[in-house]
Structure 1
């Protein structure tokens, strides 16, 4: 039986929101090997100016990312969806090893196979330096964003 990652396409508004939240929770867990399992074995990414293909390359990319982007916290929000595609907007906060804080803003376009695995991911991202006092994402960094924590719209982002 093939691997499946429900909810499966075709998406409804409800299942698209579930898929977005599952992705957010996975990335906030910062476990590269586990996150990579949400993608097809030959998944193709464009992340900023970097091109990544396959689960092993995705896990290696995420390992590098989370070794640089410390205290990473992410919020994703559904923007649009069709049968097997979802568009999201997101923001995340992190600091570097010198203690400089950033908020990254971006958009992603996702395409899924029939088993709910992401086959393509195209991400456009911009980083904004912020002061630590300007942070908006506060929750235990080892846990998903709590259900009562505001989302991007509520935070004015």
Structure 2
């Protein structure tokens, strides 16, 4: 990556917020997986390193992360690391295949229709004809409480 390309990515990274944090655990397999998935989606991410609790400095973490993720370190400033990796559609498709398309979950989901108050009242009255009187009494009680 040329210095001009790196400068352009730095400029784009200015407006980003850190979405991943590294703390006292340091770099773990779960963290690598999470960053890998995020890079697939976003290409450019910021990672915050908690300086007080992290076992190493951000400058030590950056090359390790870049190597593990086949990404480029754009910059390291203070406790923030900026990583870039070009999105690979084939790799993303392969990951989706491994995980499953999620279609079984989508099919299993039941559509829920939210009923309004009036519709619920009509259904209640259809089941129980005396429910009409309950509603009338409720309305009278409301009017009486307002006038007091």
User: Which TM-score applies when normalising by structure 2?
Assistant: 0.22
Q: Of the two, which has the highest radius of gyration? A: 2
Identify which of structures 1 and 2 has the higher relative contact order when contacts are C-alpha pairs closer than 8 Å and 6+ apart: 1
Q: Which has the higher strand share?
A: 1
Q: Which has the higher helix share?
A: 2
